[in-house]
Amino acid sequence: MSKITKKIVVLVGLLIAGFLIWYLFLKPYDYLVTFKVNTTAGTINQSLKQWNLGLEGSNIVQQENLNSLTQKININDTVYLYNWKISSVNDSVSKVKVYVSNKENSFQNKMSIPFSNTDFEKVTLKTITNFMDKLKGHLKKIKVSVIGESTTPSTYCAYVSIKDLQMNKAKGMMRNYSFLSSILANDGIKMNGTPFIEVTNWNIENDSIAYNFCFPIMKSDSLPEHKDLKYKQYNGVKAIKAIYNGNYITSDRAWYALLEEAKRQEIEIHKTPVEFFYNNPNYGGDELSWKAEIFMPVKLK
């Protein structure tokens, strides 16, 4: 064997040894699942959290941002870590990578996976497929269409201020709809437009919001008084606009579409969305026919 051949053999041996050391001892996950889906990172993020609520013994242990979160799932007394990484492929498609590990059996998993279809792989694929089915089902029930630059309408309004989680936004609206409508109707005050919410603070890290639920009315010198009821002039602002169709519980899916649109177009925005609602959920009907106009205010230069 020539010296060159020996060097090649040694080099290949070192590369193989290095790979095995990395694969068996340094690789931070046991299994990787990748898939693409036609929606935004924010919608995937929120759908993951909603799905997680239905899993027994599961919790979100860390969220770096909308594109990265770690989930701990307990299945048959075995703990799995799912590290979800979401990236944008284009303006309509996201790629999801799920790095799955089971620390108690990590070495065994890594040894077995290349040579057989292990129970670990089966459980992982079944779990992720379950989420994908839930996500696809959700996406069939909503539609988000980004329109572009626009302006929110100006109006005088009666409003109540609310603080809650994003997922409870619609409940807060329903809870206060009858309060606002009844107290105004008792004084003969009629609505002068469609109800809307004005988000005053959006904490993306913990999914909490503060917002004003507003009824447009005509300004008057004799408006009813109540400790929870306030009045103001809402002045329209320049914004980027989207149309949302679907249950108003998840109208925040349009917020994420507008965030991504602003990023693509390099538009500086205030993360304080405004939503105008054109249907009354109390009347039921096909949720895809429910319409909301969603605006994300643009920062003025």
Q: What is the pLDDT of residues 86-133, one digit of tens each?
A: 999 988 899 999 999 987 765 565 556 566 688 888 999 999 999 999
Q: Where are the domains of the chain?
A: 3-140, 144-297
Judged by average pLDDT, the poorest of 19-23, 171-175, 285-289 is 19-23
When pLDDT is cut at 50, 70 and 90, the band that residue 33 belongs to is: very high
pLDDT attached to residue 26: 44
| Spatial CA neighbour of 263 closest among 64, 37, 67 | 67
Element housing 128 (H / E):
helix 119-139
| Least confident stretch, 13-17, 212-216, 247-251, 260-264 | 13-17
Phi-psi region of 148 (alpha: psi -120 to 50; beta: other; left: phi over 0): left
CA distances for 191 relative to 116, 172, 212, 233, 301, angstroms: 66, 19, 16, 14, 34
User: Residue 186 CA to chain centroid, in angstroms?
Assistant: 39
The answer to whether residue 18 scores a pLDDT higher than 80 is: no
Least confident of 7-16, 31-40, 129-138: 7-16
Around 74, how many Cα atoms within 13 Å sit in the side-chain half-sphere?
A: 7
- Ramachandran region of residue 12, left (φ > 0), alpha (ψ -120 to 50) or beta? alpha
Q: Which CATH architecture has domain 144-297?
A: Alpha-Beta Barrel (3.20)
The amino acid occupying position 257 is A
pLDDT of 21 = 46
Instruction: Give, for 214, the enclosing helix (H) or strand (E).
Output: strand 208-216
Read off the pLDDT band of 9 (50, 70, 90). Answer: low
Q: What pLDDT score does 54 carry?
A: 92
Query: What CATH number has the domain spanning 3-140?
Result: 3.30.530.20
- Average of per-residue pLDDT across 28-51: 93
d(CA 233, CA 157): 6
